[in-house]
Amino acid sequence: MKKILVPTDFSPQAENALKVAVQMARRFNSEIFLLHMLELPLVTINPVSGSSANELPEALFFMKLAKKRFKELMSQDYLKGIKVHETVEFHQAFEGIMEISQKHNCDIIIMGSHGATGLKEIFIGSNAEKVVRNSTIPVMIIKNDRPDFEVNNLVFATDCNLENKHTLRKAKKFAEKIDATLHLVYINTANNFVIEEEAQKDLEDFVKGEDLKNYTLNIYNDVTVEKGILNFATSINAELIGISTHGRKGLDHFFNGSISEDLVNHANLPIVTFKI
């Protein structure tokens, strides 16, 4: 975990994520790539020529503003001693985050989010949700201030699909890196009920041959998978929830949804996602 990408819009949620990234950087001697995406207003662009006489002054104004905010942010005491690369890019936020994470070969993206609800969640979604859906590296979502971010218990929700065992390996590697107990949990719901003996066997088959050491296997009953994950995490005082994501897009995402993105939008606990 040597390179951590932290997108920022200078909001309180983004700073919460940066503070967590700093704590991890101190622990693992990591460097942080602090990224601000400048999304210029559409009125600055001529729809015919693709340019405007006002485009350059507008861009310079936002660039200077970003530099000013970076300077204020970098003066914070909690950043002292941390190697931080400040980057400003003209790009759509989501696409830019993906591009920079690949360019610098980052190991993890840590970003803040205030979530998305209602119609905004359905038709727009948060940038965090889009990053979770598409990132090939782990994405950690932080919403609240976490001044002492230490993870002793990491919940990893699974449906025990053997085709997705590679995500278990990613979760195992992550848990071992941060020295946390990995709690695998299968959520049993009325709509997709499995008897306990069968669920236990599925969990045991899922972890077979993976050389897990510091872990537990759990079955938890609840009305929905999302509520089950959150309630189980609360019941064991977990500090972090891990889940794999399918990266569904378009109509498939609209009709089938994604538990990982629902958690990103609704959970107060930090979430870390692993791409299937």
pLDDT one-digit tens code per residue, 155-177 = 999 999 999 899 999 999 999 99
Measured distance CA(214)–CA(182) in Å, rounded:
6
Residue 132 is predicted with a pLDDT of 84
Three-state secondary-structure class, residue 189: strand
Helices (H), the chain: 12-28, 55-74, 93-103, 118-123, 127-134, 165-177, 196-207, 225-235, 250-256, 259-266
**Both 94 and 163 in a single domain?**
no
Q: Compare 257 and 132 and report the one with higher pLDDT.
A: 132
Q: With 0-12 CB in 10 A as exposed, 13-18 as middle and 19+ as buried, what is 236?
A: middle
Residue 106 is predicted with a pLDDT of 96
| Range with the poorest average pLDDT among 14-28, 91-105, 176-190, 245-259 | 245-259
**Both 8 and 137 in a single domain?**
yes
Q: What is the CATH number of the domain that holds 195?
A: 3.40.50.620
Which of these three, 142, 167, 190, is where a domain ends? 142
Q: Which two tokens stand for residue 96?
A: 């830019």
| Range with the poorest average pLDDT among 37-46, 60-69, 162-171, 174-183 | 37-46
Residue 114 is predicted with a pLDDT of 74
Condensed to tens digits (0 to 9), the pLDDT of residues 94-130 reads: 788 889 999 999 999 999 987 554 433 333 346 777 8
**Both 104 and 159 in a single domain?**
no
CB 144, CB 114: distance < 8 Å: no
**Both 130 and 200 in a single domain?**
no
**Both 172 and 136 in a single domain?**
no
**Both 43 and 72 in a single domain?**
yes
Q: Which two tokens stand for residue 211?
A: 């050389």
Which of these three, 142, 176, 197, is where a domain ends? 142
What is the residue range of 198's domain? Answer: 153-275
Q: How many helices (H) and strands (E) does the chain have?
A: 10, 10
**Both 177 and 118 in a single domain?**
no
**Both 23 and 137 in a single domain?**
yes
Q: Is 148 a member of any domain?
A: no
Condensed to tens digits (0 to 9), the pLDDT of residues 213-235 reads: 999 999 999 999 999 999 999 99
Measured distance CA(224)–CA(206) in Å, rounded:
22
